[in-house]
Structure 1
């Protein structure tokens, strides 16, 4: 069972904060076929929703804070952003942006777990989040990379109520029996300066073809197309501005 709609505790949205919004809009249109629509209000700060047809699937934004890296941020749906923000700090995490309203669309906060992996909380009002999951061109999986899996396995279930199931050497996150993500360890194969982070994976109909298109459009292949044992075919890509994301076969499992 997988997440098919925004569900409390599960990922509901992803945002790319980038140093070059215009270039990113072109890149992701070429890779995934996304259509861009920028909020014209000055208060929106250039927030751009990316859609497949009429279905919103992600957003692209300028970098809003000094020192903010070009990166994807995963948002998790919550019923009460203020209560979950408090739960984050009680569990040993940190709030980077205190809960605040976004027009009439929802309330959000930005947080980091006990190891520094950044994520957002989203309390929906008029905007629930992505309208498509696990279909080609939409979010299909999220993965936590951390140097302290044991600490993460304590933090996230305490904050969100997740369960952690072990499949071989891989931990998968689930909420109410629905898998939506996993966890891998950052070890000696990763440079010391790679911080703990959340990585979004987008479903695609052809991993090899999408990876080739991503490279032709100016990206870099960090992990070549690979078949995961008892899982999907995956690849890892860095976009021209440096943001990393994964892709996986839309018909793959887990």
Structure 2
């Protein structure tokens, strides 16, 4: 994602208060809900240090073969997300956060995705006894993972300080994207905030549960590829923003408040974009 993110392009961001900080500890994820995120980074040690100090995570390192280590990042003993250092074969790939959607049958869901115009990037493959996964790009080019849980359900703590709070899609074609996610996961879509600058904020729901947001990429943002971005919950967004900057992060979007949600967007020291958010009032 390009740095050309600014306050104007975020003026319509809307985290759902009925989601954020409402049901932190989970033992399963409904099919069609986001269940996991992981970080592909150029420096696993530096990334673990940065996010642990910012969000209170502890790293549990798991060797997975060929010299690769996949770290489970935990808070209070609960799995929050994953983290690994990019290795051979990932040259030219920008470091990034990936978002995963829980599914019952990943093979069947991949077929639905490709039938709906998506492109298979990787898999489906078994991940030891943890589960089965695949990566797909939607018809607009935004990549995401599908996760069929076995021993690993995904995140055990969500919508709580230090945990995942929101997933947001940036795309060049909101109508095509909305139709794709409706066909593949049954998501509905509502336009929650018209943007006086000419855009709109879209909120996806899986049944009655808000699952993410969507915005049209604007020309003034620069070269922003379609992507799913992530936000983590914090107790005090202003303090966390200052802490992140003191740890070497770059402020991309300054502290902003919309509908009792205070948030900011950052680039971590390894160049990965992410957001932080806090419910206020």
Partner of 2:251: 221
Query: TM-score with structure 1 length normalisation?
Result: 0.94
Partner of 1:143: 168
Q: CA RMSD in A?
A: 1.5
Structure 1 residue 12 and structure 2 residue 35: aligned?
Answer: yes
Residues 140, 180 of structure 1: 8 Å contact kept? no
- 1:83 alignment partner, one of 89, 102, 108: 108
Distance of 2:220 and 2:142 partners within structure 1: 19
Partner of 2:277: 248
Partner of 1:40: 63
Distance of 1:11 and 1:252 partners within structure 2: 24
* SS at structure 1 position matched to 2:69: coil
Residues 255, 262 of structure 2: 8 Å contact kept? yes
Q: How far does residue 147 in structure 1 lie from its aligned partner after superposition? A: 1.2
Partner of 1:180: 211
Partner of 2:129: 104
Q: How far does residue 41 in structure 1 lie from its aligned partner after superposition? A: 4.1
Would you identify which runs of 4 or more consecutive aligned residues in structure 1 move more than 6 Å?
none
Query: TM-score with structure 2 length normalisation?
Result: 0.85
Partner of 1:21: 44
Residues 64, 70 of structure 2: 8 Å contact kept? no
Distance of 2:67 and 2:111 partners within structure 1: 26
Distance of 1:150 and 1:124 partners within structure 2: 30
Partner of 2:3: none
What are the superposed Cα offsets for residues 180-199 of structure 1, whole Å, 9 maximum, x if unpaired? 210111102210x2100001
Q: Structure 1 unaligned runs (5+)?
A: none
Residues 27, 217 of structure 1: 8 Å contact kept? yes
Partner of 1:212: 242
Q: Structure 2 unaligned runs (5+)?
A: 1-17, 195-200
Q: How far does residue 69 in structure 1 lie from its aligned partner after superposition? A: 1.6
Distance of 2:121 and 2:240 partners within structure 1: 34
Distance of 2:61 and 2:280 partners within structure 1: 33
Distance of 1:93 and 1:42 partners within structure 2: 30
Distance of 1:20 and 1:41 partners within structure 2: 17
Number of aligned positions between the proteins: 250
Partner of 2:5: none
Distance of 1:198 and 1:176 partners within structure 2: 20
Bigger RCO of structures 1 and 2 (CA < 8 A, at least 6 apart): 2
